């Protein structure tokens, strides 16, 4: 499990132990579930979208530390962003966890997930929350799968 120890930076461990925005929104405008069969990570998102901005977001579910920390960090980053901005962040984040390229700084605290690119099997854990978010925002009423 040495690879995981290297991956589990302090920030990731902290988000895993004290997840931000954990729970469900009572008055959600969008919701959706995600499942990563490779690892068994399950995730539910509820969102309050006003106009074209993410006013509030919560996540719940159970999964490995990477999936949970990634979801927690994602909720803190996308809150207040427009839908278009979240799509752009998803593209940048996907590039980060598949290549390690943190781009021009747009990613901010998401950059702590850069180490994931060295462990391809963990990429699906890290992107599960983002795939689920994308599905929610596009109104697709189906379980987001990482496969």
Q: Applying CB under 5 A, which residues contact Zn ion?
A: 39, 41, 64, 67, 125
Q: Which of 126, 133, 143, 145 is nearest to 49 (CA)?
A: 133
CB of 108 to Zn ion, least distance (A): 23
Q: Which is nearer to Zn ion, 77 or 125 (CB)?
A: 125
- The C-alpha atoms of residue 21 and residue 50 are separated, in whole angstroms, by 18
* Per-residue CA distances from 52 to 8, 22, 128 (Å): 34, 23, 22
Q: Listing from the earlier edge strand, what are the strands of the sheet with 41-50?
A: 53-62, 41-50, 30-36, 144-145
Tokens of 56: 């509030």
CB proximity list for 104: less than 8 A, separation 6 or greater: none
- Residue 70 or 86 having the CB closest to Zn ion: 70
Residue 147 buriedness (CB in 10 A; 0-12 / 13-18 / 19+): exposed
Tell me how far, at minimum, the Cβ of 126 lies from Zn ion, in Å.
8
CB of 118 to Zn ion, least distance (A): 15
State which residue, 67 or 127, has the beta carbon closest to Zn ion: 67
Pick the closer one to Zn ion by CB: 30 or 35: 35
Shortest Cβ distance from residue 70 to Zn ion (Å)? 9
Nearer to Zn ion, 47 or 125 (CB): 125
Least CB distance from residue 64 to Zn ion, whole Å? Answer: 3
């Amino acid at each position: 499990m040495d690879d995981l120890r290297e991956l589990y930076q302090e920030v990731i461990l902290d988000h895993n132990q004290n997840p931000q925005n954990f729970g469900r929104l009572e008055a959600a405008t969008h919701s959706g579930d995600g499942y990563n069969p490779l690892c068994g990570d399950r995730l539910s998102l509820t969102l309050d979208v006003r106009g074209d901005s993410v006013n509030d977001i919560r996540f719940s579910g159970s999964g490995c530390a990477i999936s949970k920390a990634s979801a927690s960090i994602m909720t803190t980053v996308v809150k207040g962003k427009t839908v278009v901005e979240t799509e752009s962040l998803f593209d940048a984040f996907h590039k980060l966890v598949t290549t390690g390229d943190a781009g021009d700084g747009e990613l901010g605290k998401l950059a702590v997930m850069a180490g994931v690119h060295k462990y391809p099997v963990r990429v699906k854990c890290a992107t599960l929350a983002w795939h689920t978010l994308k599905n929610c925002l596009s109104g697709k009423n189906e379980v987001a799968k990482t496969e």
